[in-house]
Every structure is written in structure tokens, then in C-alpha cells.
Amino acid sequence: MHIDVTAAGSVTVLKIDGRLDSNTSKELEDTVMGLVTSGTTRLLMDFGGVDYINSSGLRVLLMAFQHLKKDGGLLHLCDIKDYMREVFEISGYNEIFSIFPGQAEALAAFPE
Amino acid sequence: MSEQLSLRIDNSLPELDRLHSEVECFLARCAVTGREAYHIQLALDELVTNVICYAFEKEGGHVIDISLERGPDGVDMTIRDEGKPFNPLLAPTPDMDISPEKRRIGGLGIHFARSTMDRLAYDRINGMNILHISKKII
């Protein structure tokens, strides 16, 4: 897995590539926690390059959401493949996360 | 002749990568792709992870046998281990009514397997946990 961190205005964008599983989720967790601890409050995760996610990957997303929300922050997700969207629905996570088709829509949805 | 795969892995998390690659090749041979292939990979991943994390006192030094067979109606899978008796089918379903901020982190793996597979059955025979899993593919 590879994570590319960039900034789009006030939003930090994480472009994730590869598999998000038991052996790689820790890397995403460390990246997210590093950003949250250093003051990031608006985070966008781009799943365009992710072809697999399991419960440990979803666990990291929930944890990121909970940490950001606690400090009034926001987490948006985008470009999740249809077959993976299904596990968001099965877990009820589709109701927790704001999920957008692409980066442009996800960035536009952050409040001014 | 039906396609089959038998795989023996050590009870350690890095072995999940090997499981994934072997199953990927097997599914490609059987022309199982896309959503169905993802469901099978996910269910095996979650259920084998549970065995690795909970069936033994510590990681490493124990074997887990995994077999897959492509039959006329779908894919039948079996996971066998000699760990502590553990029936994952008795695990509670995650509580979806709790607000997202307070929801317990984790506990989703078995829920995924239950939701995406057509049959899950557990047996404890001769000191072994045996989990049968079936996914129908039309």
C-alpha cells in the first residue's frame, strides 16, 4: 500500500493505493493519527487506487472519524469501488461517512 | 474436473498475504471475478484472521488448513485448526443502533462473512474447529 499526502486548500488529501488489510491498516492508522495530532481537522481519503478493504481497514476509518469529530473536524471519503461500497452498507458505515463519487465533489462539500 | 485448492498456513498474520495470492490465482482459474471474488477473499480473510488471533495462545507454530473447491453451483470452502473450541457463528451481531461516535471499533469480520456467504457451518470434531463456508455462484 502507498499513501500520498497532499493539501487542497484547508483540506488534507490522502490518496491511498493498494490493499487496506490487516497487514497494511496500521500504516494508514499511523498516518492519520500523525495528521490529527498535528492539528489536521479536514481530511479527505481518496479510495480510487484501493482494490481491497477488510474490517481492519474499516476500523481505521471509524477511528479517524471519531478522532476528527471529537475536535469538530470532518472526514470525507471518495471514489470507493461499488463492490467495496457494499461492505460499507453491510456495516452501516455508509450512514456514518460522507462518501462522494470523486475528489472534486468531496472537496466542494467541505463547508467554507 | 472441478478446480481445487488446498493450502496450509502458519497461524501468523503475514500469512494472510500468501492466502490472498493463492486464492486470487485459484479464483482466476475458476473464472470467479469481481464482486463474488471479493466476497470470498473477504470472508476467508476475516475468518482466518479470527483463527490466527483467537484460537491459540500466541501467534506462530500452529497450522491452519484451508481448502476451496469450485463446484457446479459455487465455491465451497473449509477452514480447519486445532485451536481452542471457537464457534464464530455464536458471535453477536454488531449493534447498528449505537451512534457512530460511540460505536465499538471492531467486531465486523464475522458479520461480513455472514452477510456475504450463503452458508456457514461449524463443527468441533476430534479436537479440531472445522468451519464450512459456501458461496453460490450462478
Q: What is the pLDDT of residue B100?
A: 61
Residue A45 lies in a domain: yes
| Whether the predicted pLDDT of A6 surpasses 90 | yes
Cβ burial, residue B117 (10 Å; 0-12/13-18/19+): buried
Q: What are the pLDDT tens digits along chain B (138 aa)? A: 589 999 999 999 999 999 999 999 999 999 999 999 999 999 999 999 999 998 999 999 999 999 999 999 999 999 999 999 999 888 877 777 777 667 766 578 999 999 999 999 999 999 999 999 999 998
| A80 within some domain | yes
Range of the structural domain that residue A78 is part of = 2-104
Q: What is the pLDDT of residues A17-65, one digit of tens each?
A: 999 999 999 999 999 999 999 999 999 999 999 999 999 999 999 999 9
Contact between A94 and A62 (Cβ < 8 Å): no
* Closest CA of chain B from A18, distance in Å: 13
How many folded domains does chain A comprise?
1
Distance from CA of B37 to the nearest CA of A (A): 10
| Contact residues, chain A, for B100 at CB < 8 Å | 62, 65-66, 95-96
- Comparing CB atoms, the residue among A55, A70, A95 nearest residue B108 is A55
Q: Does A92 touch chain B (CB under 8 A)?
A: yes
Which architecture does CATH list for B4-136?
2-Layer Sandwich (3.30)
Query: What pLDDT is attached to residue B105?
Result: 61
H helices then E strands: how many in chain B?
3, 5
Q: Looking at residue A37, which CATH number applies to its domain?
A: 3.30.750.24
pLDDT at A48: 98
Judged by CB atoms closer than 8 Å, whether chains meet at A87 and B14 is answered as: no
A110 assigned to some structural domain: no
Asked if A90 reaches chain B (Cβ–Cβ under 8 Å), the answer is yes
Residue A43 lies in a domain: yes
On average, the pLDDT of chain A sits at 95
pTM listed for this prediction? 0.93
C-beta of residue B133 within 8 angstroms of C-beta of residue B46: no
The pLDDT of residue A37 is 93
Alpha-carbon distance of B138 to B132, in angstroms, equals 19
Q: Where are the domains of chain B?
A: 4-136
Strands B63-70, B119-125: pairing is unpaired
Q: Does B96 touch chain A (CB under 8 A)?
A: yes
Contact A21 B105 (CB under 8 A): no
Q: Nearest chain B Cα to A69, which residue?
A: B101
Secondary structure (DSSP) of B70-134: E-SSEEEEEEEE-SS---GGGSPPP-TTS-TTTPPS---HHHHHHHH-SEEEEEEETTEEEEEEE
How far is CA B52 from each of CA B36, B39, B55, B63, B91, rounded to the nearest angstrom?
A: 24, 20, 6, 9, 16
